[in-house]
């Protein structure tokens, strides 16, 4: 497969993934409001839906006997998600405040 075909497939997959995420979040909000679900429950369901590819990759790897790969997918995706979300939030906000037991720490970017 050529690099240009791989890049087009990647971009197509990215567009489908982002569009699916938008639809999932919008529909979960609509259903949650209609059924009276809490925002915390909707957040958990949205997180599970968003992590479905990582969960299925880890399960397939473990079932195929590639335990190290399965664990790597779980650990790596979670580390990346936390780092990317905190980093992107800090870049957008300009600072991140972390409150701990009555004190707070301010990180500026």
- The one-digit pLDDT tens for each residue of the chain (109 residues) are 899 999 999 999 999 988 987 888 888 888 888 999 888 888 888 788 778 888 888 899 999 999 999 889 888 888 888 888 878 877 888 766 666 655 555 555 5
Q: What is the DSSP string of the chain?
A: --HHHHHHHHHHHHHHHHHHHHHHHHHHHHHHHHHT--HHHHHHHHHHHHTHHHHHHHHHHHHTT-HHHHHHHHHHHHHHHHHHHHHHHHHHHSEEEEEETTEEEEEE-
Residue 61 corresponds to which tokens in the numbers above? 């790897």
Calpha distance 87→83 (Å, rounded) = 6
For the chain, the structural domain boundaries read 1-50, 51-109
pTM equals 0.50
């Amino acid at each position: 497969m050529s690099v240009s075909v791989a890049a087009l497939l990647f971009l197509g997959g990215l567009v489908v993934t982002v569009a699916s995420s938008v639809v999932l979040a919008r529909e979960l909000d609509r259903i949650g409001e209609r059924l009276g679900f809490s925002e915390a429950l909707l957040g958990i369901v949205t997180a599970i839906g968003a992590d479905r590819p990582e969960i299925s990759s880890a399960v397939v790897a473990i079932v195929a006997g590639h335990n190290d790969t399965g664990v790597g997918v779980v650990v790596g995706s979670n580390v990346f998600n936390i780092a990317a979300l905190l980093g992107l939030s800090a870049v957008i906000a300009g600072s991140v405040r972390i409150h701990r037991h009555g004190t707070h720490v301010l990180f500026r970017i």
